[in-house]
Amino acid sequence: MLSRLLPVLLLAFAALISAAHAREAPARHIREVAMSQLPREARETLALIRAGGPFPYAKDGTVFFNRERFLPAQPRGYYREYTVSTPGARDRGARRIVAGGDPRWSGEYYYTRDHYRSFRRIRE
């Protein structure tokens, strides 16, 4: 009996593994941007992140969920988002820095100028 069930169980297990991997689509290739090429406001925001604040917007430092999976997969809470002010904007604007890990010490940083539709990893 077990010898007949084993192949069926193995196929079912393989299907579950395959489905799980399909849901975890890999992050797209992310281009880099040198810190010197960022807008002044982005460099100022990065300095605030490293200093631990204070931040001008209440949403700064909140969890970024990476729902579109544009960034490398990480556990929930790994990424935090911060506003990069946009001169002339009447609201927070579209520019953000998303920090991963411990942003003050050895974190990774991503810049988006189009409200999460694309990212560039900040190279220092």
Query: Does the annotation mark 32 as catalytic?
Result: no
Query: Does the annotation mark 44 as catalytic?
Result: no
**Catalytic option among 29, 41, 81, 124:** 81
**Catalytic option among 21, 41, 115, 124:** 115
**Dihedral angle at the C-alpha atoms of 112, 48, 90, 109, nearest 10 degrees?**
10
The phi, psi pair for 97, rounded to 5°, reads -115, 130
Catalytic positions are 81, 115
